Amino acid sequence: MSYVVLARKYRPQTLNELSGQSHISRALTHAIEMDRVAHAFLFCGVRGTGKTSTARIVAKMLNCEQGPTPNPCGVCQPCEEIAKGNAIDVREIDAASNRGINEMRALRETTNYPATRDRYRIYIIDEVHMLTKEAANAFLKTLEEPPKGIYFILATTDPQRLLVTIRSRCQRYDFRRIKANEVVGRLQYICEQEGIEMDAEALYLIAREGDGSLRDSLSVLDQVIAFGGETMSASEVANLLGVADRTRVTEMIAALLSQDAQRALSALASAHNHGMELKVFSKTLAMEARDLLMIRMMGHNADDLVDRSESEVRVLRELINGVDGNTLERLSHTLLELAEQMAVAAHPRLVMELALIRLCRAPKLKDVAALASQVNRLVMTGRLPQATQSAPAPRSTGQATSARTQGRPTPRARAQRPAKEISGDDDVPSARVRPKAPRPPPAQPKPTTPSPPTINFSDQHLQALCESASDSNHSTLVPLLEDAVVEPSPANVLCLGFSSDYSVRLANQSEVRKSLVALASALVNQDVDVQISGVVERARDQSIRAKTSKKRQAKKRQDRQALQQHPSVVRVLAVMGGEIAQIDLATPDDPKG
C-alpha cells in the first residue's frame, strides 16, 4: 500500500496555496521581487499552520531553474526534489533529535562548501527551540555571517525559548491560527478532489477539532473518511470524534434559557445514556454559552469571534432572541465554573445535575437602567413619593429676628397682660415688655452605628475554625483546614496556604470557597473574605496536622523512654541479661490497648 495522507498529499506548493497566511505570502513575494531576501528567517506559530511548508516554498522560490521567482514552476528537478524532501542542496534538520553541540559543529563545517548543483544551499531547521544552549551559542556566528550562497530557515512553536541573540539575527514571521471558515474552505476543496460528500456542519466540527491547525484538521478528516466512507453527516462525525452532538447541546441551552429544569435534566440523561462523556459535554456547553454571549454583545460583527457556519449562527441568533446580556453572562460564568468542577469531580453526573438545577431555579435578572426608568415612571404618576430634602439646620440665637415678627408679641405675652389693659382702662398706662424669642432646642446628635472591628487572622483563629467545622455541618472541611496555615493578609481577609497542590485545587472549588467564607464569617460574627495563596513551604511543618503529628511522635518517644527506665523492665533486663528488641505502643484506637 502506498497511500499518502491528506496532509502530505495536499501540502501547499506555492504561496498562493497557503491558507490563512496572506501577510506572509505578500512579504515573501515582495522580498523575492525586490531582491531583498534575508539570509536567515524565523518562522513562528502553532503547529500545523504552514511553517515547514512555507520553508520549502521559499527554497523552491530561490532554487527554481526559472528563479529566483515568487512563482516557482514546480516541474523542474530542484522543485520536484524539494517538494519530496530529498533535494541535495536543501537540508531539513530536526532540532529535537539533533540538538547537541556536536551536531551544530558538523553543520557549521558543511556551510563552508558551496551548493553542489542548485543555486543556493538552504538549511531548514525545525523545532529550533529544542537546541541546547551550548549548541545555540555554537550556531550564532554562522547564523550572523553565513558564507555566500547559504540561507537558514528556522521554524519553532515556542520562540520565547530561543536565545535573544538568535532571534535578533533572523527576519521573523509569525504564522497565525487559521480561521475556521478558511479551514472549512480548504477541507471542502479536498473533499471535492477526493469525491467525498460532507455537509458544512460536519466540516466545521472537524475545523474546531483542529483548533486553528490545518494539518490537525486534515488528520481528523483522514480519520473520518476511513470511518464513514464517502458520505458523512454531522452527527456521525460528532459520534466518531467523541464531541457533543449539536442537537443535544442546543436542546440543553434552550432548556437553561427557558429555566425548564425537567427539560434540562432529561437532556442530560439522554446525553449520558448515549455514551457522551459528561466532562466533554460540560466544556462544550461552556463554549456554546460563550458564543451566545459574543453574538449578543457583538451583533453582526461576531464573525471573527465565533467559529460557526452560517446555519449554526442563525440557530444561535434565534435561540437568544429576547434574552438579555446579563442572563447570558451569568449562564457563561456558571457553565465555566461547572466545567472546572467536572475536571476534578468524583461524581460528575451529580455535580452537573446540581448545577443545572441551580441555573434553572435562579431568579431572572433585571437591568439596572430598566429598574431606574420604572422608578421614575412611578414617581411621575404619583404612585411613589419623591425623595424629600432634609430640613435646614436651625439658625443660631445671635441672628436677628425678621422685621415681620420682631415687634409682634407672642401668644403667651398677650395672655399675661394685666386685666386692666385688657378692659380698655387707659388711666394707668401699662408697661409693655417685649418678651424674648424662645431659643430653639439644641440639635440632638445623630446616633452613630459603631463600625465592626477589624479582624487580623492568626493560627489561633485557624484552630478555632477547625474546631467549629468539626462541630457543624462543615465537618468535611476539617482535613483541608488541618493542612493549612494562615498567611499575612489585609484586615478581615483570611488567607490560607497549603502544603500540597491537591489541597489548593480543593480549596479553589467554588462550593468549598463558599463554605470556608460562611464558616469564617460565623466564627468572627461579621462578613470576611477567604483567599488561597497556593502551596506554602512552611505549611509542611506548621500546619495543624504537622504539629499534631510532631506531638504524637514526641509522646511516643517519651513513652518508650519511660518504659525502658521502668524499674520492672530494668530488673528483668538485669536478671535475664537481654536487651529490648522492639517496643509496641498501643494507640487509643487499638482494641488491644
**Cβ-proximal residues to 498 (8 Å cutoff; 6+ apart), any chain:** 480, 483, 484, 485, 504, 507, 532, 534, 535, 536, 539, 543
Is the separation of the CB atoms in 55 and 170 below 8 Å?
no
pLDDT the model gives residue 460? 83
| pLDDT given at position 353 | 92
Q: How confident is the model at residue 208 (pLDDT cuts 50, 70, 90)?
A: confident
pLDDT at residue number 335: 93
Identify whether the C-beta of residue 140 lies closer than 8 Å to the C-beta of residue 128. no
- Look up cell 473518511; give the residue: 225
Q: What percent of the chain clears pLDDT 90, i.e. is strictly above it? A: 24
C-alpha cell at 238: 460528532
Please tell me the distance from the alpha carbon of residue 86 to that of residue 33, in angstroms, as a whole number. Answer: 27
| Domains in the chain, CATH or no CATH each | 6-174 (3.40.50.300), 180-241 (1.10.8.60), 246-361 (1.20.272.10), 454-582 (3.30.300.180)
What confidence tier does 593 reach under pLDDT thresholds 50, 70, 90? very low
Q: Is the pLDDT of residue 448 over 70?
A: no
Q: Are 91 and 151 in contact (CB under 8 A)?
A: no
**What pTM, to 2 d.p., does this model score?**
0.56
**pLDDT of amino acid 559:** 82
How many Cα atoms occupy the beta-carbon half-sphere of 519 within 13 Å?
27
pLDDT at residue 364, rounded to an integer: 74
Cα–Cα dist 543/485, whole Å: 5
Residue with cell 470556608: 516
Q: Could you report the per-residue pLDDT of 537-587, keeping only the tens digit for each?
A: 888 888 888 888 888 888 888 888 888 778 877 777 777 767 777 777 765
pLDDT band at 436, cuts 50/70/90?
low
Please check whether residue 208 is in contact with residue 180, taking contact to mean a CB–CB distance below 8 angstroms.
Answer: yes
Q: What span, in angstroms and rounded, lies between the C-alpha atoms of 460 and 157?
A: 50
Q: Rounded to an integer, what distance in angstroms lies between the CA atom of residue 315 and that of residue 200?
A: 14
Determine the Cα angle at 532 with ends 527 and 534, to 5°. 170
Each residue's pLDDT tens digit, 351-368: 999 999 999 988 876 655
| Cis peptide preceding 440, ω within 30 of 0 | no
Amino acid sitting at position 517 = V
Determine the Cα–Cα distance for residues 148 and 128; give it in Å rounded to an integer.
Answer: 22
Cβ distance 192 to 211 under 8 Å?
no
**What element of type H or E holds 507?**
helix 501-507
pLDDT in tens, 137-180: 888 888 888 888 899 999 999 999 888 989 999 999 999 988 88
Q: How is 460-485 classified by DSSP, letter by letter?
A: HHHHHHHHHHHTSTTGGGHHHHHTEE
Pick the more confident residue, 575 or 12.
12
pLDDT above 50 (res 117): yes
How do beta strands 231-232 and 484-487 pair?
unpaired
First to last CA, the chain: 75
Please give the pLDDT value at position 492. 83
Q: Write down the mean pLDDT value for the chain.
A: 81
Spell out a b/e string for 144-178, using b for 16 or more CB atoms within 10 Å of the CB, else e: eebeebbbbbbbbbebeebeeebeebbeebebebb
CA distances from 53 to 110, 125, 155, 214, 420 (A): 24, 12, 10, 12, 124
42: DSSP letter: E
More confident residue, 309 or 261: 261
The amino acid present at 515, given as its one-letter code, is: S
Positive or negative CA dihedral for 563, 564, 565, 569? Answer: positive
pLDDT in tens, 219-269: 999 888 888 777 878 878 887 887 777 788 889 999 999 999 999 999 999
Residue 40 pairs with which residues in a beta bridge?
A: 152
Q: What is the pLDDT of residue 423?
A: 43
* pLDDT surpassing 90 at residue 123: yes
Cβ atoms of residues 535 and 499 within 8 Å: yes
